[in-house]
Chain A
Amino acid sequence: MNDAVAAPAFDSLTVGDVVAEAAYHLTRDALVRYAGASGDFNPIHYRDDVAASVGLPGVLAHGMLTMGIAVQPVVDWAGDGARVTDYQVRFTRPVVVDAASGAEVGVTAKVGQLDAEARTVRIDLTVTFNEATVLGKAQVRVALA
Chain B
Amino acid sequence: MNPEIQGRVYPPVEPYLVGREKIREFARAVFAIDPINHDPDAARRAGHSDVVAPPTFPVVVQERTLAQLLADDDAGIDFSRVVHGEQRFSFTRPVVAGDELTAQLTVTGVKTLGGNAMVTAATEITDAAGGHVVTATSTLVVRGDDA
Interface residue ranges, A against B (CB under 8 Å): 1-5, 24, 30, 33-34, 36-40, 63-65, 67-69, 71-72, 75-76, 80-82, 84-91, 137, 140
Contact = CB atoms under 8 A, between A and B. Distances in A.
Contact of B28 (A3, A33, A63): A33
Nearest to B53: A81
Contacts of B59: 38, 64
A75 B32 contact: yes
Tell me what chain B mostly uses at the interface: helix, strand, loop, or mixed. mixed
B72 interface: no
Interface residues of B, number: 34
The 10 A-B residue pairs with the shortest CB-CB distance, nearest first, are A68-B30, A37-B29, A88-B88, A4-B46, A68-B56, A82-B94, A34-B29, A2-B47, A37-B26, A84-B55
A136 to B, nearest CB: 9
B85 interface: yes
B85 A91 contact: yes
Contacts of A137: 86
11 contacts: A2-B47, A37-B25, A64-B56, A72-B31, A75-B54, A80-B34, A81-B34, A81-B52, A88-B87, A89-B87, A91-B84
B94 A81 contact: yes
A39 B60 contact: yes
B85 to A, nearest CB: 6
A139 to B, nearest CB: 9
B89 interface: yes
Contacts of A68: 29-32, 54-56
Nearest to A4: B46
B63 to A, nearest CB: 6
B52 to A, nearest CB: 5
A87 B33 contact: no
Interface string B28-44: 11111110110000000
A33 B29 contact: yes
Contact of B87 (A3, A63, A85): A63
Nearest to A90: B86
B88 A82 contact: no
Contacts of B29: 30, 33-34, 36-38, 65, 68
